[in-house]
Structure 1
Amino acid sequence: MYSTQVSRRVRAPRAVVYRALLDGDAVARWRVPAGMSSQVHEFDGREGGRFRVSLTYDAPTDTGKSAPDTDTYHGHFERLVPDERVVEVLEFETPDPTLRGSMTITTTLSDVDGGTEVVLLHEGIPDTVPAADNETGQRMALDNLARLVEGDERPAG
């Protein structure tokens, strides 16, 4: 298992970014890498609240972790500090034992000149998930988040 950390400055207040982290409709729009679509099956954006999300590859040749072309994960919000931190514990829904196990994503928000610094720390990633792929996906998600909270949402890619 390994961890990745990515960050991005966004031109929006922490409160706006925090709301986008805990809104299922917003998550469906920003937490999806280019080349994929998102479906939020369950989402309760409060401490202890559960979520379940599927990311499906647009190209039928890409391989998913849960189904031939889909990555599905579920989890819960472990800790919420309003406008500062969101801690999510999640795991892939998969028959593959090399992809099982809990992961933690901690999103930290801090004030910077002109907006908010968003830091995503993703811990407990299975070694079978290429680190470069995970980091690229997280960066794409942060770019989508920036477009959403800055009011300039356009399709990624």
Structure 2
Amino acid sequence: DVRLYVKSCHICACTKPLNSRSNNLTNSRKPRHPWEVISIDLMGPYPRTSKGKSYILVATDCFSRWTEAYTLGTATTKNITETLEREFFSRFGYPRVCLSDNGPQFVSNDMLSAIERWGAEGWTTPTYHPRANPVERRNQDLKKGLRAALTNGKHTT
């Protein structure tokens, strides 16, 4: 049954809004634990900072929607995996699923090896459908905040 399959799909839980009607059944589409499914994405390049950073790696827990952002000098798979291991996984543990778009850094052999080393599954969103990745909404919020911070309250026309 297609409905049963979709309701039990973790990707669907991360990518589809919940039905607004309340019921007494637990929604089996949602991840059941924090840090079980994370969604990652890159933002940038931006103008290089004084510390040589021009990209932002964004990681979101699909259960709690907790989001963290890390600056990167270059958008390489090595920088992404090292940052996730050092900053994110060292505090929250390894996820069961790592969801990303089809960016070259996320579908490279090095990324697939890292995901395997973490004991996780690597899932990618459909090409040309950025809304299928929950972290994309967080990226929009971050961009608004960055824009406001970088203009220092100066309004431009």
Establish whether TM, by shorter chain, passes 0.5: no
Q: Which has the higher contact order (CA 8 A, sep 6+)?
A: 1
Q: What TM-score results when the alignment is normalised by the length of structure 2?
A: 0.31
Compare the two structures and name the one with the higher strand fraction. 1
Larger Rg: 2
Compare the two structures and name the one with the higher helix fraction. 2
Q: What TM-score results when the alignment is normalised by the length of structure 1?
A: 0.31
